[in-house]
Amino acid sequence: MKQFLTFVFVLTITMTAFSQNGIVRGIVIEDESGFSIIGANVSVEGGGTGAVTDLDGAFSLSLPVGTYKLNISYISYQTIIIEEIEVKDGEVNVLGEIRMREDAEELETVVVTAQAIRTSEAAILTIKKKSPAMLDGISSSLMKLTGDANAVEAAQRVTGVSIEGGKYVYVRGLGDRYSKTTLNNVDIPGLDPDRNTIQMDIFPTALLDNLIVSKNFTADMPADFTGGLINIETKAFPDEKIASASVSIGYNPAMNFNSDFLTYEGGGTDFLGFDDGSRDLPAGAAADVVPTPISVIGGQFTEQEANDFVSSFNPTMAADKQTSFLNYSASVSIGNQLQLGKSEGANQDKGTLGYIFSLSYRNDYTYYDDVFYGEYQRLAQSEVNELDYANIQEGQIGEQNNLIGILAGIAYKKANSKYRLTAMRLQNGEKRAGEFTVDNNGSAVGQSGFLAVSDNLEYNERSLTNILLNGTHVFGDNGWELDWRLSPTLSTSDDPDIRRAGFSTNGTEPFTINAGEEGNPARIWRSLSEVNAVASVDLTKNYQFKDKKAVLKFGGRYTYKERDYEILQFDVQFFGGSQSFPSGDPNDILVPDRIYPVGNVYVQSGNIFPNPNEYNSTASNTAFYISNEAEILPNLNAILGVRAENFVQRHTGRDVIHAQGGDGNNLEDEKVLDALDFFPSVNLIYGLTENMNIRASYSRTIARPSFKELSFAQIIDPLSNRIFNGSLFTYSDWDGNLMETRIDNFDLRWELFQSRGQLLSVSGFYKSFDNPIELIRIPTQQTSSEFQPRNVGDGQVYGVELEIRKSLSFIAPSLQNFGLNLNITLVESQIEMTEREFNSRENFQRDGEVIDDTRAMAGQAPYVINAGLTYANPQIGMDAGLFYNVKGRTLEIISSGLYPDVFFRPFNSLNFSLNKKLGKDQNTAIDFQVSNILNARLERVFSSFEAEDQFFSRFSPGISFSLGVSHNF
Amino acid sequence: MNLRLLASLVVMLGLLFVACNNDDDDTANPNFNAPTLSAPTGVTSVEADGSGSVDFTVSIDSDLTATYSAVGTGVTVTNTSGDVSGSTVTINYDASSVAGAASIALTVTDSEGQSVSATAVLNITDENTIVVTSNITSDATWTADKTYILGGRISVESGATLTIMPGTVIKGEAGTGPNATALLVARGATLMAEGTAQAPIIFTSIADEITPEDVAAGNFASPNLDPDINGLWGGLIVLGNATISASNDNNEDISEVQIEGIPTSDPNGLYGGNDDADNSGVITYISIRHGGSNIGEGNEINGLTLGGVGSGTVIENVEVVANQDDGIEWFGGTVDIKNAVVWNAGDDAIDTDQAWAGTLDNFVVVTPSGSCFELDGPEGTYVARHTIKNGTVVAIFGGRVTGGSLIDVDDNTPVDMENIHFVGPLDSDGTFLTITDDEVGNTTFTNVTFDVPMGDLANLMEQGGAVPAGISAGGSPVADVSVLSWTWASQAGGLDGL
């Protein structure tokens, strides 16, 4: 590693007051490592002024209007002269990243133009090629160049990254369990608290400093990722004044301006992403005994109270057709940096102040007109291969999604200290209405056989509030650097008033409510709140090892998470008499004439207190690490490190039997996970030539069960009726003891870097999983679909990965603006089946079928292909890309024997994006995108020996178009 | 210096969290906090003529003093007023002798005149009422001098025997989903519920005002609930180790499955095995009423659920009235039932699954909302036949019409139906009820008669299909109802003329 850290104060730049001035800014980084160079000299050729780069490698020069040449020099590096730097009155000329190369012998000088710095090699180069950890990323200069609007668009340019649902980013085809996303290097829960990864489409690129994807672990990273760690870093000091506004519209022919769109009358503030209280739980509903005919007989309530109670539930139970509008979004971003204390004559550095602010709003409509949920079974006769349906639910779903995002940050930097405070708030509401027909097959196992219609209404309200306080300090010339962070986050996810109502339609009486068939109408309230708090301290010491630079890092991090979760559920019941509804309209169920005591409708509580569907979990993780990076042999760099994490998860919850007053299971803040783990990591990089490396690494990582997985919760998906069971239930051969998965990772990689950011690499990797967790369909439950996360047999994953980033100029020089990104990962995964699983598969063995005692690992795709064809022409401000992504057929849910394995079918995602900057100063940009060009469908299927695949679920997202305009003022 | 900064930031952050909890606003008096008062959540139970105390939690502005006053309804408060000291006010009371709801209203007034009230809800239980909340893990006996309240899903666990004396009344508390109540006899457990025709054992809802005294006096009908009110509690579930046909039989592993109506979080819900002579006890003269609450979508509890129950078990003289799901449902097993009435089932009346290998002999079915017979075959390769004989079915009566089929068999249902008569009329609003849903393959009929004109018989077949052998028009009721005279159905006149 190069000696890039010498600590020098930023010199005060004295403004010349008598003439008109402009500002020139840039960041000086070391070419090989991508790290900032602190203390490089920046001088104006032929002039007296100059600057020294600060702890970010940044410099800022205030110069009179004119054209300048800058000379940038640093000991043992090639001097760079940048020509044709124009300084205009009151404007900031941002040079971007200036890369210096070490050149101890020749000390030659490189001369480039300002334009070249901004638009070519330096900016496009994103790989930190000599970084000992395998990193890939996108810098703000590249994002600026490509014009990507948000972090997802930027991330799809990183090789090896797959985008799911336009929001979530995964690495190497490993699922959510093995991925992790952090914001400014701290854990934050996503809007969907059951995911490890956060949705990235909410971060506008204007406010991002960089996005780094780490494919292997080093000791300074959290140990709970295995596939990839994605870190989003927000800007602290914008290079230039940002004052931009953007609007965009989206159109999907199947979803927008569709008169069949389904919705329902919600609250007055739904468009702002939260409920106005109209879906609140009715008063008195969360009591041990609610007013019903039964409690009226018991003397606890009056008939009037029972009537009032039912009437206090919103009578809307039916989905409503309403024409959907266009998708639209708008955002404003501002930001700047100000040099303080530059008043005339002052010779005192009062530092630099930076601020950012962004407000965005989005309204999206999604409509699926052919939703399908199926349950298929194998037949008892082993000579029959084809599957038979147990239950088919088909229909339409309409979703309206509103998102408001606010991000604000303020930062202050002096010569050797930097502070920043960032706050973020996301508010998201999703209103969903569905209409289905149900066909239940009476001759299938465990099914009663009926035809029905059903309406579902849901509202999901989510919020996320995050604050980050961060300080960085360098201590003079002694090579020490300190970074500390404090970051609390509060997130909520509530489903107030989920409503479902179904009518049986078979037999002679149309539209009856039959408890044994489609079930009684139900109302469900779910709420979740989670607090996260992170405090971390990292210390870095730069020193000499055998006359070469070496870095020692150590630090600690404390993470605390606490989640409260509760489900309350209610059933509409009938106190004798008729349960037929000639209209078949769910809105006719809770009408005054039918409500007890006038009619026979009442609402019964499904809740016990203490509630078995309520839990509180906490997790604390205390981590320390030490890591050393040094060139131990010529051209052989090594990072050796170890991280210790002491993770304690506690749970307060109980099962139904305890809640009802029996013994049962009851945990009061008891430890459900308690482990001190050491995570060693060895990363070796051997430089074959300056542009060619061989890397080898070993690390140990962990995947821990989530709060939901380590609970007694039983969560029913109101749409599909599938039930999730927490793993704490002891059942049959499951001991209720869900353990962490520990993973040993081995990587070997050869890589070649070429000019203009071109890259070629071949890697092999091997991962061994100790006690992997998978979602199991409970084999003995045949009446309904119940699932439970369990540890399964040990697993192994091995694969090869090919990465290419190539300019097409090798075909013809005229194609130099075209680039090809290609990443192919082939993976073989293997899990040793438990005896139970093997037996239940053998029970349903078809004639001629061979049952192996190993199978693929759930969630691991056998191959992942990411390909991108890009066109970038900074001269005319145009950037376009065609991105293709596919993940091989992936096992998702493990067979119970009766029900076969469920696989996720390859989704051939092809997206196009085009950005064009307009205007003299390229201040206006147009962003055009087409998503899912191949009109692929999201399909999960049951798959059995020599049988036709049958759908487990199916959605058609359709092709969507969006057009956006942004302007920087 | 920087570490000091860090430490102070941590403290500040902590203060921020603490501060968030202190945002109560007191609009009443800006100088003093208003008093707050809370009653215990839930209902406190006390025996009739007993006494007890209730703790209210109170907070008073530290600069003020306060007094309290308490008023009891259904109870006599012994300390009706006093000064508040500390954060708890304890009210002592004597319960009245009448069972039912009671309450204590407490008002706290501080020296600034600010007052706050809260009410604690009490339930005065009959001293002859026992609330059962724990699983039965050792032998127990329930006697007719008391009423037993099922406070939840109560399992008699393997190895334990529950003996229920004749004339005992068992009532399930109200609830649905996880809150549903039921009595479950797990594999390996024994239920000895030997009622008599003079003193049957009644399983019903807490809403039913029937008492052991009523039963002793020969009044078996509910004094206050109509015989079509269902879904108020769960039901009686008996599980055993006999063979079930739940999958291929080439491996013994999947010979057990989870019973319908019980979530997999409760392993007591597993049934099935290979002991066809298994003995789950003796069940005679029991009447199960108003049950069938659900635990989830289409997952209800039957009136009497028999999962893998073996032939060593004796079940005779059983009545199921107004169950929200099926009346009696067998899941495999080998147990026989003699003398049964299923009246006003919310779904099917007689339901068989997983190759039950037993006999139902002498029974009456009256107006289920689903099918009269919902008979399914094996779900594995293990096949066994069952027999349903000597029965009378009333499909339409008193405004209630069977909502499903008269007989619903699958093409592989191995059942022999003998001497069964369907009482007319069998046509509702010009629409005939159908006999079968699927093809009749493995089913045999012997002397199965329908009280319809000969020419209408074909209309009873699904889509006007051919009439299977053994089915004919005419006939007369065949069940011997004299042995069913003890039932509510009989006492209510529901079996008259049969």
Q: Tell whether A448 is within 8 A of chain B (Cβ).
A: yes
The dihedral region occupied by B444, where left means phi > 0, alpha psi between -120 and 50, and beta the remainder, is beta
Phi and psi dihedrals of A842, rounded to 5?
-65, -35
User: Residues 842..861 of A with a Cβ closer than 8 Å to B: which?
Assistant: 842-845
Mean pLDDT of B373-385: 84
Same-domain check for residues B105 and B143: no
pLDDT number for residue A12: 28
pLDDT number for residue A460: 92
Mean pLDDT of A417-438: 92
Q: Could you tell me which of B315, B323, B309 has the C-alpha nearest to residue B352? A: B309
Q: Is residue B7 part of a domain?
A: no
pLDDT number for residue A33: 67
Domain boundary (B97, B125, B153) is at: B125
Best residue in B135, B179, B266, B293 for a mutation probing chain A (most A CBs within 10 Å): B179
Least confident interval from A948-962, B72-86, B90-104: B90-104
Return d(Cα B440, Cα B471) in angstroms, integer: 12
**Exposed e or buried b for every residue in A430-456, given b needs 16+ CB within 10 A?**
bbbbbbbebbbbbbbbbbbbbebbbbb
Same-domain check for residues B316 and B419: yes
CB < 8 Å to A898, chain B: 247
Return d(Cα B295, Cα B180) in angstroms, integer: 7
Q: Could you tell me which of B288, B187, B199 has the C-alpha nearest to residue B244? A: B187
Q: Cβ separation of A514 and B403 shorter than 8 Å?
A: yes
The dihedral region occupied by A579, where left means phi > 0, alpha psi between -120 and 50, and beta the remainder, is alpha
Mean pLDDT of A754-770: 87
Whole-angstrom CA distances from A113 to A25, A43, A70, A88, A120 are: 15, 16, 10, 17, 11
Q: What is the pLDDT of residues B288-330, one digit of tens each?
A: 999 988 765 557 789 999 999 999 999 999 999 999 889 999 9
The band of A97, judged by pLDDT with boundaries at 50, 70 and 90, is confident
Q: Is residue B18 part of a domain?
A: no
Q: Is residue B497 part of a domain?
A: no
CB < 8 Å to B244, chain A: none
The band of A775, judged by pLDDT with boundaries at 50, 70 and 90, is confident
pLDDT number for residue A855: 93
Q: Cβ separation of B410 and A897 shorter than 8 Å?
A: no
Question: Cα distance from A407 to chain B (closest Cα, Å)?
Answer: 20
Q: Is residue B312 part of a domain?
A: yes
Residue of A nearest to B136 (CA): A662
Residue of A nearest to B180 (CA): A606
pLDDT number for residue A506: 63
Same-domain check for residues B312 and B423: yes
Percentage with pLDDT > 70 across chain B: 88
Q: What is the pLDDT of residues B328-353, one digit of tens each?
A: 999 999 999 999 999 999 889 999 98
Return d(Cα A727, Cα A737) in angstroms, integer: 7
Same-domain check for residues B117 and B160: no
Q: Is residue B4 part of a domain?
A: no
As a residue count, chain A comes to 969
Q: What is the pLDDT of residues A808-840, one digit of tens each?
A: 888 888 888 898 888 898 999 999 988 888 888
CB < 8 Å to A570, chain B: 176
Phi and psi dihedrals of A900, rounded to 5?
-75, 175
DSSP B215: H
| Higher pLDDT among residues B475 and B50, named by residue | B475
Q: Is residue B9 part of a domain?
A: no
CB < 8 Å to A576, chain B: 225-226, 228-230, 322
Q: Tell whether A509 is within 8 A of chain B (Cβ).
A: yes
Same-domain check for residues B226 and B278: yes
> Over 90: is that where the pLDDT of B127 sits?
no
ipTM computed for the complex: 0.79
| Higher pLDDT among residues A211 and A621, named by residue | A621
Structure tokens at A785: 């679909």
Q: Cβ separation of B263 and A783 shorter than 8 Å?
A: no
Q: Cβ separation of A571 and B177 shorter than 8 Å?
A: yes
Q: Cβ separation of B10 and A836 shorter than 8 Å?
A: no
Q: Is residue B27 part of a domain?
A: no
Return the bridge partners of A138, or none. A211
Q: What is the CATH number of the domain that holds B484?
A: 2.160.20
pLDDT number for residue B205: 95
Domain boundary (B106, B125, B144) is at: B125
Best residue in A783, A787, A845, A898 for a mutation probing chain B (most B CBs within 10 Å): A783
A432 close to A292: Cβ distance less than 8 angstroms: no
Residue of A nearest to B98 (CA): A299
Most confident of A159-173, A439-453, A881-895, B179-193: B179-193
Best residue in B264, B270, B320, B396 for a mutation probing chain A (most A CBs within 10 Å): B264
Q: Cβ separation of A515 and B10 shorter than 8 Å?
A: no
Q: All domains of chain A, ordered by start, with CATH?
A: 1-119 (2.60.40.1120), 327-526+540-567+611-968 (2.40.170.20)
| Higher pLDDT among residues A421 and A729, named by residue | A421
> Over 60: is that where the pLDDT of A222 sits?
yes
User: Collapsing DSSP states into helix, strand and coil, what is residue B19?
Assistant: helix
Which position has the token pair 């699904």? Answer: B462
pTM of the model: 0.85
Mean pLDDT of A645-670: 88
Structure tokens at A277: 């209280």
Domain boundary (B125, B158, B192) is at: B125
The band of B170, judged by pLDDT with boundaries at 50, 70 and 90, is very high
Helix (H) / strand (E) element for A119: namely: helix A114-119
Residue of B nearest to A661 (CA): B133
Comparing CB atoms, the residue among A292, A788, A842 nearest residue B251 is A842
CB < 8 Å to A836, chain B: 253
Same-domain check for residues B121 and B133: no
Residue of A nearest to B376 (CA): A443
> Over 90: is that where the pLDDT of A612 sits?
no
Q: What is the pLDDT of residues A129-149, one digit of tens each?
A: 666 667 777 777 777 766 677
Q: What is the pLDDT of residues A892-947, one digit of tens each?
A: 888 878 899 999 999 998 989 898 988 877 788 898 989 899 999 999 999 999 99
Comparing CB atoms, the residue among B135, B250, B298 nearest residue A657 is B135
**Rg (chain B; Cα; Å):** 29
Question: Cα distance from A576 to chain B (closest Cα, Å)?
Answer: 4
> Over 60: is that where the pLDDT of A225 sits?
yes
Comparing CB atoms, the residue among B9, B100, B247 nearest residue A380 is B247
Same-domain check for residues B276 and B208: yes
Residue of B nearest to A576 (CA): B229
Comparing CB atoms, the residue among A449, A537, A788 nearest residue B6 is A537
Range of the domain at B380: 129-491
A356 close to A240: Cβ distance less than 8 angstroms: no
Q: Tell whether A725 is within 8 A of chain B (Cβ).
A: yes
Tell me the pLDDT of chain A averaged across its residues. 85
Q: What is the pLDDT of residues A720-760, one digit of tens each?
A: 778 889 999 887 778 889 999 999 999 999 988 887 678 89
Please report, for chain B, how many H helices and E strands are present, in that order. Answer: 4, 38
> Over 90: is that where the pLDDT of A766 sits?
yes
Q: Rounded to 10 degrees, what is the CA torsion of B331, B337, B341, B343?
A: 0
Burial status of residue B469 (CB atoms within 10 A of its CB: 0-12, 13-18, 19 or more): exposed
> Over 70: is that where the pLDDT of B13 sits?
no
| Higher pLDDT among residues B30 and A97, named by residue | A97
Q: Tell whether A484 is within 8 A of chain B (Cβ).
A: yes
Same-domain check for residues B139 and B211: yes
CB < 8 Å to B119, chain A: none
Same-domain check for residues B147 and B112: no
Q: Cβ separation of A731 and B177 shorter than 8 Å?
A: no
Residue of A nearest to B245 (CA): A380
CB < 8 Å to B256, chain A: 732, 780
Number of domains present in the structure of chain B: 2
Q: What is the pLDDT of residues B201-224, one digit of tens each?
A: 999 999 999 999 999 999 999 999
Q: Could you tell me which of A701, A691, A715, A548 has the C-alpha nearest to residue A628? A: A548
Best residue in A55, A297, A721 for a mutation probing chain B (most B CBs within 10 Å): A297
Same-domain check for residues B190 and B339: yes
Same-domain check for residues B260 and B406: yes
Q: Cβ separation of B250 and A292 shorter than 8 Å?
A: no
DSSP B462: G
CB < 8 Å to B347, chain A: 448, 514-517
Return d(Cα A291, Cα A306) in angstroms, integer: 4
Same-domain check for residues B471 and B409: yes
Residue of A nearest to B427 (CA): A508
User: Residues 808..847 of A with a Cβ closer than 8 Å to B: which?
Assistant: 836, 839-840, 842-845
Mean pLDDT of B403-419: 86
Q: Tell whether A698 is within 8 A of chain B (Cβ).
A: no
| Residue A527 neighbours by CB distance under 10 Å | 17
The band of B439, judged by pLDDT with boundaries at 50, 70 and 90, is low
Comparing CB atoms, the residue among B153, B260, B265 nearest residue A660 is B153
User: Residues 463..482 of A with a Cβ closer than 8 Å to B: which?
Assistant: 469, 471, 473, 482
Return d(Cα A132, Cα A682) in angstroms, integer: 10
